[in-house]
Structure 1
Amino acid sequence: MIMRHTTWLIAVTCLTALMACGQQPPAKKKPNILFVITDDQSFPYASAYGTPGVRTPVFDAVAASGVLFNNAFAAAPQCSPSRAALLTGRNIWQLEEAGTHSSYFPKKFPVFTALLDSAGYKTGYTGKAWGPGNWKDAGWKNNPVGVAYNQHTIVPPYKTISNIDYSANFKAFYQQKQADQPFFFWVGTHEPHRAYTKGSGGDTGAVHLPAFLPDDAVIKNDLRDYAEEIAWADAQIGKIIDFLREKGELENTLIVLTSDNGMPFPSAKATLMEYGTHVPLAVSWKGVIEGGRRTDELVGLIDLAPTFLQAAGVAGMPQISGKSLLPLLTQQTDTARNAYVLTGMERHSASRPDNVGYPSRAIRTADYLFVLNCKPDRWPAGDPPPASEAPSPSPDIKPVGRGYHDIDDPSPSKSFLITHKNEWPQLFHQGFEKRPAELLYDVRNDPGCTKNLAADPAFDSVRHALRSQLQEMLTQQGDPRMTDNGDIFESYPRFGTMRNFPGFKKKGEYNPAYQHADH
């Protein structure tokens, strides 16, 4: 396990005390913005939520000095669509190619980072920005997030942890900015994305076991290794915040810590179920946001783009769906929040014949999660392995293997459920087998989404109301899935791994079978 040195513990203690100090007058100059987005961290995997077996003292300190969100949601349950939505303030069905995984990011969609840059901010990132996907051929000079600062590296404690030195790269960025120039910096940790080093989290101790995973030592150890990577990422962010304190910048820095989507386990990432899109979120801004608060308000990460722009005093982006969180953060009670958030998913990996996805849309209220699966005849986690596989037409086309590729590999938890599906039939069914067109979950009592209430007559009124609300909002926002043009999403190129399923499998090309003539 990662050593927790005494000096680090002292630094965290000092940081917590500093950030917990009383409020000071609001900053008069434009604020700096430090944005941290981990890779694949589900709610409630942060110790500020009281979750056992997770150590996130830096996240906890930021939450204590500001606002901790219990109900924050990524726009999509996978990396690049979620990040594109966050950058633009739009939902994935409003983003064309950027609404699917590992495709193009059309240059026509404004991003808040460019607006901050134009307003005089020094902008940049380290680690993972928007991606995976192709931004160069879409006309961008840099990644849509900004200029990369990844030159400084370290020797990590485990080979599955990134060697990027996030804090050293932030320092290099900071040293390049002009005196008194405000900055926006994006820290995209590669942790806790798979793979993990087996045993890095130990084989004893508390663990948060979601209801959709078997109660078995293999699963628990996998979760401990997952939590260890979360702890590593948290410690690296602490170094950046310590540097801001040393430079006297902490007083005027808006800090936002969150994740792009949920955990890479069955029934989580690449699904619209609760652990696929529900993410941690903590926000602090000393002297502007009153600390020690925790809120149940429903918010989306698409709300961050207008929040950052409003905080910086920069004109907002037109035709976006996100709403600034600043009135909520500063307790301006005359601004009401929505009673729901919307999420969506298109193709994740190359995991089905003809390179098609598993399109679905969802509406989440305080009590319920309703999911509309647009193509329920497809396998949600990707097709199972075929009885026999034709020879690959190219060395670049990987074999299908054991299938179910929308669940990340390598994964001990995935392997365990496949191998032991007869011992855990209900959990295997939930994670791997076909789902009905409509799903309804009582998320207050069933956060693991293990009991679908959509067919229960007692919940007919709830189901009808949520379906109507979802379809109304999707239609208003121009979702092609609400028209006869929904399959346009199936045409979009994929630049990631292609597998030897039947049908179309050309990397980086549009699928002509689904491409409309006017595209």
Structure 2
Amino acid sequence: MQRKFVSLIVGLVTCICSVAAGANVPAKPEASGRPNVVVIVADDHGTDAIGAYGNRIVRTPAIDALARDGVRFDRAFSTVSSCSPSRATILTGRQTHTNGMYGLQQVVHHFQSFDDELSLPVALENAGYRTARIGKYHVAPDSVFRFGKNLGAGKKAQRGELGRSPVEMADLSNGFISADGPFFLYFATMDPHRSAPHGKVNRFGNRDDGFADTPTVTYRPEDVVVPAFLPDIPAVRAELAQYYQSVSRVDAGVARLIAHLKAAGKYDNTLILYLSDNGVAFPGAKTTLYEPGMRLPLIVKLPGGGRAGDTEKAMVSWVDLMPTVLDYAGVRVPGSVSDKDTEGRSFRGLLDMTAYKPRQAIYASQTFHEIQMYYPMRVLHEQRYKLIWNIASPLPVRQAVDLKNSATWLAIGDKPNARYGERPVASLLKRPEYELYDLQNDPNETRNLAKDPAMRKRLEEMKAKLVKFLDETGDPWSPNWMGRGE
């Protein structure tokens, strides 16, 4: 398939070559010290289970402390609600249809990004940063998402994945943190993702014998807070209690990681981002582009400690993360200084309270999760209104295996006339071509206005704007591109 934006690709290649040659960036770390960068990516963590976002039951003291030291974003959005595509966007600053990562990376699904993508670790390494990753990776190819070190290579935590033991991840990162020179650490937990087996109340990676050096924090089902999009039934409460426990394990890892940064004297001069790849792993959130699937936590602790404790209402997108990090690192690539909503762009000006043009729109997409889950959707999310185009609306919606076989779904999802939270179950399984929501008056997206005569003009305007974005970014699912080939 022919790809658009040849000029952008040429620009990226030129940038790589110039950086490698030492142009525009110092060949060695500056004496004054450029900021270190730590990006913490939790797995399937929604804003629903963080104290700093208003949940008074879940215990997340380290994440809450990070929010007190930094800026908490209330309107931060992923561009896709699926693990590998979202991570590829975080690490390239590009939409899934422009970086090529349409679905899950693992062998059975075999999605991967285009070979000529420029990733955040490569750009920073070329600029003189030490780079390392630990925990969940889930992107490919390695040549694109190349890190200088894999700090968890060969390591397992108590008969399971290292990513389930964030405290151990932090300890394994300590030597890298303490070494000389500016660094980029990509710290990606597997918590609080669901775990196997399926078909009963999921443990979300929790174990009866716990994890070494990690406090076990448990919750009673009767105490959890059931989000509006979920039904308040025993199975949901039981699974939320397990989810909370997994979230608290993430928090313990964040606490240990920050302790290591402080002990090494690196905390003050480190840009820290805490975020998630997509929403919580419950039907109605993950793999959907409803708000619980794409409106996510983002906490940014600035080098030097500016704006400590602030809350930010401006909209930002995961395509903006790479340009923002590169901006703080003093590395320029195409798009990093753009003010166009159709591209990833730095929001450093927003954080520093200098020149910044606020976003008026976020674009998002979903095409695959697992390879058999073909259901392409495209989204235009404005300040008040949100349009979802279900491109394959005649098809039934297929759910991810861990959601379809969850105790939550099995308790209610096979009853066609039942309700699932504030929605009929049937509306999750079969969707209209267009969904238009007024998020100001209907934040839970329960009243589709697409067929409301009073909203016809707005619907047509948003459809045209969405199609224009698809055309400009070379999306092969654009109505003006469908059927083209070589």
Output the TM-score relative to the length of structure 2: 0.81
Task: String of CA shifts for 1:308-334, please: whole Å, max 9, x gaps.
Answer: 1110111224598211111000111x3
Partner of residue 415 from structure 1, selected from 410, 419, 424: 410
CA distance in 2, matches of 1:218, 1:323: 42
Partner of residue 462 from structure 1, selected from 458, 461, 465: 458
2:103 maps to a residue whose letter is: T
Partner of residue 361 from structure 2, selected from 313, 332, 340: 340
Structure 2 equivalent of residue 274 of structure 1 = 291
Question: For the structure 1 residues 462 and 51, does the alpha-carbon distance in structure 2 shift closer, same or farther, using more than 3 Å as the test?
Answer: farther
1:482 counterpart SS class: coil
Residue 137 of structure 2 corresponds to residue 115 of structure 1: no
Q: CA deviation at 1:335?
A: 1.6
Residue 444 of structure 2 corresponds to residue 448 of structure 1: yes
CA distance in 2, matches of 1:273, 1:43: 14
CA distance in 2, matches of 1:209, 1:444: 21
Question: For the structure 1 residues 146 and 463, does the alpha-carbon distance in structure 2 shift closer, same or farther, using more than 3 Å as the test?
Answer: farther
1:408 maps to a residue whose letter is: L
Partner of residue 162 from structure 1, selected from 148, 161, 164: 164
User: Do the aligned partners of 1:212 and 1:449 also contact (CA within 8 Å) in 2?
Assistant: no
Long gaps (5+) in structure 2? 1-30, 106-110, 196-201, 208-217
Question: For the structure 1 residues 483 and 436, does the alpha-carbon distance in structure 2 shift closer, same or farther, using more than 3 Å as the test?
Answer: closer
Structure 1 equivalent of residue 377 of structure 2 = 360
CA distance in 1, matches of 2:408, 2:444: 16
Structure 1 equivalent of residue 371 of structure 2 = 350
Matches within 5 A, 1:105-504: 105-131=113-139, 134-136=140-142, 140=143, 143-144=145-146, 147-151=149-153, 152-155=155-158, 162-163=164-165, 165-175=168-178, 177=179, 179=180, 181-195=181-195, 196-197=202-203, 201-287=218-304, 289-317=306-334, 321-332=343-354, 334-351=355-372, 357-380=374-397, 382=398, 404-405=399-400, 408=403, 410-424=405-419, 426-431=423-428, 433-483=429-479, 485-486=481-482
User: Do the aligned partners of 1:269 and 1:407 also contact (CA within 8 Å) in 2?
Assistant: no
Q: CA deviation at 1:430?
A: 2.9
Give the number of equivalent residue pairs.
425
User: Do the aligned partners of 1:211 and 1:450 also contact (CA within 8 Å) in 2?
Assistant: no
2:369 counterpart SS class: coil
2:149 counterpart SS class: coil
1:171 counterpart SS class: helix
CA distance in 2, matches of 1:378, 1:331: 46
Task: String of CA shifts for 1:78-97, please: whole Å, max 9, x gaps.
Answer: 0111111111111112123x
Question: For the structure 1 residues 65 and 405, does the alpha-carbon distance in structure 2 shift closer, same or farther, using more than 3 Å as the test?
Answer: closer
User: Do the aligned partners of 1:453 and 1:459 also contact (CA within 8 Å) in 2?
Assistant: yes
Task: String of CA shifts for 1:293-315, please: whole Å, max 9, x gaps.
Answer: 10110000111111111101112
Matches within 5 A, 1:67-86: 67-86=71-90
2:306 counterpart SS class: coil
User: Do the aligned partners of 2:177 and 2:264 also contact (CA within 8 Å) in 1?
Assistant: no
CA distance in 2, matches of 1:129, 1:92: 17
Q: CA deviation at 1:247?
A: 1.1
1:167 maps to a residue whose letter is: A
User: Do the aligned partners of 1:373 and 1:437 also contact (CA within 8 Å) in 2?
Assistant: yes
CA distance in 2, matches of 1:452, 1:127: 40
Residue 112 of structure 2 corresponds to residue 91 of structure 1: no
User: Do the aligned partners of 1:145 and 1:186 also contact (CA within 8 Å) in 2?
Assistant: no
Question: For the structure 1 residues 146 and 446, does the alpha-carbon distance in structure 2 shift closer, same or farther, using more than 3 Å as the test?
Answer: farther
Question: For the structure 1 residues 370 and 188, does the alpha-carbon distance in structure 2 shift closer, same or farther, using more than 3 Å as the test?
Answer: same
Q: CA deviation at 1:145?
A: 5.1
1:259 maps to a residue whose letter is: S
Output the TM-score relative to the length of structure 1: 0.76
Question: For the structure 1 residues 259 and 405, does the alpha-carbon distance in structure 2 shift closer, same or farther, using more than 3 Å as the test?
Answer: closer
Q: CA deviation at 1:286?
A: 4.2
CA RMSD of aligned residues (A): 2.6
Structure 1 equivalent of residue 3 of structure 2 = none
User: Do the aligned partners of 1:129 and 1:186 also contact (CA within 8 Å) in 2?
Assistant: no
1:341 counterpart SS class: strand
Higher deviation after alignment, 258-267 or 440-449: 440-449
Task: String of CA shifts for 1:399-429, please: whole Å, max 9, x gaps.
Answer: xxxxx43663552112112244444374312
Long gaps (5+) in structure 1? 1-26, 383-403, 489-515
Question: For the structure 1 residues 255 and 237, does the alpha-carbon distance in structure 2 shift closer, same or farther, using more than 3 Å as the test?
Answer: same
CA distance in 2, matches of 1:323, 1:405: 31
CA distance in 1, matches of 2:446, 2:182: 47
User: Do the aligned partners of 1:191 and 1:229 also contact (CA within 8 Å) in 2?
Assistant: yes
Higher deviation after alignment, 420-429 or 342-351: 420-429
User: Do the aligned partners of 1:219 and 1:413 also contact (CA within 8 Å) in 2?
Assistant: yes
Question: For the structure 1 residues 104 and 373, does the alpha-carbon distance in structure 2 shift closer, same or farther, using more than 3 Å as the test?
Answer: same
2:185 counterpart SS class: strand
Question: For the structure 1 residues 154 and 182, does the alpha-carbon distance in structure 2 shift closer, same or farther, using more than 3 Å as the test?
Answer: same
Question: For the structure 1 residues 305 and 448, does the alpha-carbon distance in structure 2 shift closer, same or farther, using more than 3 Å as the test?
Answer: same
1:417 counterpart SS class: coil
User: Do the aligned partners of 2:230 and 2:236 also contact (CA within 8 Å) in 1?
Assistant: yes
User: Do the aligned partners of 2:163 and 2:188 also contact (CA within 8 Å) in 1?
Assistant: no
